[in-house]
Chains A and B, each alone.
Chain A
Amino acid sequence: MKTTQTIAIIGASGNMGAAISRSLAKGNYRLLLCANNLDKVQAVAEEIRNSNPGAEVEAADCTREASWEADIIIAAVPYAAEQEVAAKIREVANQKVVISIANPLNNTYDGLVTAPETSAAEELQKLLPNSKIVKAFNTTFAADFTTPVIDGRQADAFIAGNDEEALQTVSELVATAGFNPVIAGNLAVSGTLERMQLLLIQLNNKYNYNWLAGWKILHQSANLN
């Protein structure tokens, strides 16, 4: 696509939000970085501009305004904050792609706070019924964004959602960030993806991967018949 798309990244001063912002600044996107603390998010914007002078990036303190301006919205906030964000952007996020990156972990990192039949992404869809919620960037650690090729293999990044066009849009974002996009299925698959990250976090803590680890599906070449 030639036309520059505008992406609002809510929570861009956080670990994940900043990592996503840095990696998407490489693509044909205009980024609006939002956070409650404008100073922090301005620092992220400045750092991106310093390392990539061509990047179109701006800090914003108003989540609703930025989401109104945007074509795509990334909710890079913890699960607990999704409700508050949804209330702010509800009207302006109509029909837009909204990416849920949250993993609804409990405080001890040994389980999820969501009920088994749902997920953070599906709960966000309930809060934003007229938006196209897509689960993405939840199976990758923040450090993976600077090193998407780990031990010689490009990490897979899984995507789930119900709208075909939205899935394609997000696949392009994931590829721009340097990962291998894998569309896993409709939004109901989000629960599985969130549990995959729970497992990865547990393995990280057990085997000390130093937060640089990811998923890779080993498979034969796709059978095109």
Chain B
Amino acid sequence: MAHKTINIKLRVWRQKDAKSKGGFENYELENISVDSSFLEMIDVLNEKLVSENKEPVAYDHDCREGICGMCSLFINGRAHGPDSLVTTCQLHMRKFSDGETITIEPWRVGSFPIIKDLMVDRTAYEKIMQAGGFVSVSTGGVPDANSVTIPKADADEAMDAAACIGCGACVATCKNSSAMLFVAAKVSQLALLPQGKVEASRRAKNMVAKMDELGFGNCSNTGACEMECPKGISLAHIARLNREFLAANIRG
């Protein structure tokens, strides 16, 4: 079978560390297989850089099958690049054309400071989770079937919200750097189920307070987060978060 390859030009953000001033570096790669993933393409670049005794490009990655949420990258102006419902590790080079210049930037969010090159520190998400993204009581082992009844629609919606992998694409693509879709997914996932409902008010209040404190922006309902989310988390969850938050404040 003929193996299709392309030649590409890269414009990659390089930054020595959090405090240094960064800038774009240009690279050229030849004979990149269209079947390789975007991260494999960067691996090829890094091997080339290492062989030339240059510093390889630092970037985040882990599972390379779209479930860990580690890979980030703002590619040609889009979070996770020019494909829908995928993380960068699932993005393939066939989405690019021969001779194309590809701009690669890190997530640019005040609350996600750059560690090095394309790596950002997403500890802010962990802090939001620590503020309320959990169920406090031990709910024991797996309950017997049908002993805790949950309507199918609620279970489905909680599962949809639970698909969030915390990659940060929503914040990265949001023109306001708002973390609302992330917080909404975490709040929804628990508020819809009986185990999580008990703490729903406190959770919504604490997670929103932490999100605000960490410097994320205000949601203006553009919907970009939903479109760029690799897991297709719906804006409807943000409406639920708003409801939960309002109700929590009315109850006091």
Bound pair: A and B?
A: no
Give residues in B with beta carbon < 8 Å to A.
none
Interface residues of A (CB under 8 A from B): none
